[in-house]
């Protein structure tokens, strides 16, 4: 056991709090960590998914969504993204920082990890990684862990469940596959995948595994990495739409949202030795034949505008 455990834990906690300020800081942290520890592939995936969360947050303050949602609804949607983003980082960043420390000092991850309230599932997987160096398995394990981590505090939270996941707008978004994660390139091309029935943990995990397969596909990875390494995240879709020759439409995240002070609830270990969880570690996903989404993106952006206009018409009729 390391002698200065308390000092290490305090430093990890301080760094986690520092970088868990908002969506931008989280995205930057994940990407920088990956640049310094490229064997931890999940960090790059997390940075790209975090970018997508920022774009979705800023969309809420763009031209169209305020026409469909009132201020309370807009804030509930924002807080859902923000709380999920914050919760994942609050759980994952200490793991990444601890890994970096153990890597440099050849210390025991297991001994120190227990101090950080890391789930027994991912603790075992980190130990497996130190022995096997299986980068893909660890990435999948982190995907599984983080989706279970947000299940209670976000997906099952009474406010988010009622006001967001069971709302008309979320149903429409889910139905039309607007819940899409995009990976851009500097050439203005978009690649990505959609998820329907987002509320189901298994569906989110399958999406994560597919996104990982796409992100690290040898044909596309260099382009995605160049984009991420040269494009600072602002939270605005203009980050990639500028590469498509578009003019700025939506705001930048720090222009429209304050820093949210989150309160951490009691943390519990979600893992109960479920056989299904271990089965999810298998590399059992296939990518669809069509991954280029530039044309699809334009079509869906039009559809969401039409959906919002239809909703406005229905609301007006119901009032008359």
Measured torsion, CA atoms of residues 127, 129, 130, 132, in degrees rounded to the nearest 10: 120
8 Å CB contact between 9 and 113: no
- First-to-last alpha carbon distance for the chain, in angstroms, is 72
Whose CA is closest to 42, among 134, 191, 143, 164? 143
Q: What is the pLDDT of residue 160?
A: 47
- Please write the tens of the pLDDT for every residue from 129-155: 999 999 999 999 999 999 999 986 665
pLDDT averaged per 10 residues in sequence order, the chain, 320 residues? 76 96 98 98 98 93 82 86 93 96 86 86 94 97 94 57 52 54 96 76 91 97 98 96 88 95 84 85 88 85 74 65
CB atoms within 10 A of CB 320: 4
Q: What is the pLDDT of residue 173?
A: 54
Which helix H or strand E contains 184, and what residues bound it? strand 180-184
Q: What is the pLDDT of residue 1?
A: 44
Q: What is the pLDDT of residue 298?
A: 82
Phi, psi for residue 22 in degrees, rounded to 5: -155, 180
User: Dihedral of CA 179/184/190/191: which sign?
Assistant: negative
Assign 3-class secondary structure to 123-141.
Answer: HHHHHHHHHHCCHHHHHHH
Q: What is the pLDDT of residue 316?
A: 63
């Amino acid at each position: 056991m390391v002698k200065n455990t308390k000092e290490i834990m305090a430093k990890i906690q301080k760094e986690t709090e520092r970088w868990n300020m908002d969506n931008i800081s989280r995205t930057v942290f994940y990407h920088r960590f990956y640049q310094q520890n490229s064997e931890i592939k999940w960090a790059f995936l997390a940075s790209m998914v975090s970018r997508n969360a920022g774009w979705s947050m800023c969309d809420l303050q763009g031209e169209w969504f305020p026409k469909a949602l009132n201020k309370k609804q807009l804030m509930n949607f924002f807080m859902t993204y923000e709380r999920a983003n914050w919760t994942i980082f609050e759980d994952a960043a200490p793991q990444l920082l601890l890994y970096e420390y153990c890597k440099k000092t050849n210390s025991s991850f297991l001994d120190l990890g227990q101090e950080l309230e890391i789930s027994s599932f991912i603790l075992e997987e980190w130990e497996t990684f130190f022995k096997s160096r299986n980068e893909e398995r660890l990435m999948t394990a982190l995907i599984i862990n983080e989706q279970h981590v947000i299940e209670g505090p976000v997906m099952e939270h009474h406010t988010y469940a009622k006001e967001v996941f069971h709302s008309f707008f979320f149903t429409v978004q889910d139905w039309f596959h607007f819940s899409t994660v995009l990976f851009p390139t500097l050439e203005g091309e978009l690649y990505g995948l959609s998820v329907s029935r987002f509320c189901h943990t298994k569906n989110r995990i399958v999406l994560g595994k597919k996104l990982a397969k796409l992100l690290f596909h040898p044909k596309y990875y260099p382009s995605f990495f160049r984009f991420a390494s040269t494009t600072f995240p602002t939270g605005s879709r203009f980050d990639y739409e500028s590469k498509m020759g578009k003019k700025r439409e939506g705001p930048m995240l720090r222009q429209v949202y304050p820093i949210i002070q989150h309160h951490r609830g009691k943390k519990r270990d979600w893992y109960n030795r479920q056989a299904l969880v271990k089965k999810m570690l298998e590399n059992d996903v296939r990518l669809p034949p069509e991954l280029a989404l530039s044309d699809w993106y334009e079509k869906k952006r039009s559809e969401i505008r039409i959906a919002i206009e239809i909703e406005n018409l229905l609301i007006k009729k119901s009032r008359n």
